[in-house]
Amino acid sequence: MERLGKNRGIADLESPVDSRKNLYSSFVWTDYKAQLQKRVRAEDLPKYFHLTESEKIGIQETIRLNVGTTPYYLSLSDPEDPNCPIRKMIVPRKEESFFSPEETLDPLHEEDLSPVKGLTHMYPDRVLLFSNHECSVYCRHCMRGRKVSDSSERMETADLELCFDYIRNHPEISDVVISGGDPLNLADSKIDWILENLEKIPHVKICRLGTRNPVTLPMRITSDLCKIIESHNTDHLSIFCNTQFNHEKECTSEAKEAILKLLKAGVSVGNQCVILKGINDDGETMLRLHRKLLELRIRAYYMYDPELIPGSRGFRTPLAKGIQIIEYMRGKVAGMGIPQFVNDLPGGGGKVSLGPNWYLGFHKPSRNHVFRSAVRGTYHLSPEPTDSEYEEFYPEISEETWLLVLQNSYSAFKGLGPLGESGK
């Protein structure tokens, strides 16, 4: 019998739906180790998707990181719809096949700011610890593609010990972000060892776990793992978790169960999403996501502008998109559900926050600040304290604008009714 070759195999005999059913039933679904062992690679994608020409080119010619997804995360994607947001984060497209002139491997210059391997010291009081090079899912928009899924970037025990030595010798460091790769892809014993070392450094008060496993492999958040985290979440060290949900389809019951376990271990969970073209780059999609996150008891933290990494042109959006999204969300969800829109400045400048201009300026003659309401679009006046010495600090509003605004403005003495009708 003729052997099945590369171009003729099970993908030709089974539909993506049937292939998925066979995959999902081939192991214990809740076993996170089995999920990792059954991870879908680039060569497997034709079995689980009806691929477009763009996706075929992307798989063959990507200059980004390796392809890999857990069966769980695969199950959230649509095998037929190329516009499925989860699918776009799993399957490369042709935009990944070329290196644009504006792109670079390390736009944030993290390597230049690394005094020892695996440790970035960009801010005076905090460092980023690159714990490992592996993730459960290799997201196509990953900003550390130069390191993630590359075995040469493996962090050995000796490398981590050098990182701890550096932190011990720099008492200004009070906050350590553990990232990667995904730190929760390490064995429980290794996570325990890392947290124990940090807990023993007197000046380290905060530890933040940067993990996408609550999104891509929620069954990894086991009771045993949470016991380890809780054992180090003490008076000496406060442990937080920042994860990355990018779309409401990721907000599953399994994800909520994982988050609740972390919360019961005393770990506050925040979300850092990325604006991604064609996935979540509009106000309504982001609003639905962040409403879902509040239901999962996750507070919004950051919304990132995409980084200038190789092969990322298909994901990047205009800077104005982020400002428009924040403007759309304000007033439609509680403040704890609205992220800060940040740009991590190229060249190692750190993060800066951006937002809509709700503040029009200061009218010197009347000593009033003029604001635009995010909820109603109306204009509102707020006086500067009479003993203030900061009048020269504020941008001045023109007299012409002041006269136009004054006719339809509201203040402490004139309010809006419940349906937008002006008060007396």
| Same domain, residue pair 381 and 337 | no
Q: Is residue 70 part of a domain?
A: no
Give 354-382 pLDDT, tens digit per residue. Answer: 999 999 999 999 999 999 999 999 999 99
Note the pLDDT of residue 2: 36
CA distance 178 to 233: 15
In sequence order, what are the beta bridge partners of 350?
345
| Same domain, residue pair 336 and 379 | no
Q: Is residue 50 part of a domain?
A: no
Torsion angle of the four alpha carbons 26, 41, 94, 324, in this order, in degrees rounded to the nearest 10: 70
Q: Is residue 46 part of a domain?
A: no
If you write DSSP's letter for every residue of 259-279 in order, what string do you get?
HHHHHHTT-EEEEEEE--TTT
| Same domain, residue pair 398 and 263 | no
Give 307-328 pLDDT, tens digit per residue. Answer: 999 999 999 999 999 999 999 9
84 labeled binding residue: no
CA distance 292 to 281: 17
Structure tokens at 241: 């978790």
Q: Does residue 71 contact residue 34 with C-beta atoms inside 8 Å?
A: no
Domain hosting residue 371, numbered range: 359-411
Q: pTM of this prediction?
A: 0.93
- 119-to-138, 162, 219 alpha-carbon distances in Å: 21, 9, 29
Q: Which residues of the chain have pLDDT under 50?
A: 1-8, 10-11, 422-424
CATH of residue 293's domain is: 3.20.20.70
Q: Is residue 40 part of a domain?
A: no
| Same domain, residue pair 284 and 334 | yes
Q: In 185-237, where do the E strands start and end?
A: 206-210
| Same domain, residue pair 310 and 401 | no
| Same domain, residue pair 143 and 283 | yes
Note the pLDDT of residue 64: 85
| Domain final position from 353, 370, 399 | 353
Q: Which residues contact 403 (CB under 8 A, 6 or more apart)?
A: none
Our count of domains for the chain comes to: 2
| Same domain, residue pair 188 and 256 | yes
Q: Is residue 229 part of a domain?
A: yes
Q: 223-232 vs 253-264: helix axis angle to the nearest 10?
A: 30
226 labeled binding residue: no
What type of residue is 296? L
Note the pLDDT of residue 421: 57
Note the pLDDT of residue 420: 52
| Same domain, residue pair 273 and 396 | no
Q: How distant is the alpha carbon of residue 375 from its chain centre?
A: 26
Note the pLDDT of residue 380: 97
Q: Does residue 197 contact residue 164 with C-beta atoms inside 8 Å?
A: yes
Note the pLDDT of residue 146: 85
| Same domain, residue pair 296 and 388 | no
| Same domain, residue pair 346 and 368 | no
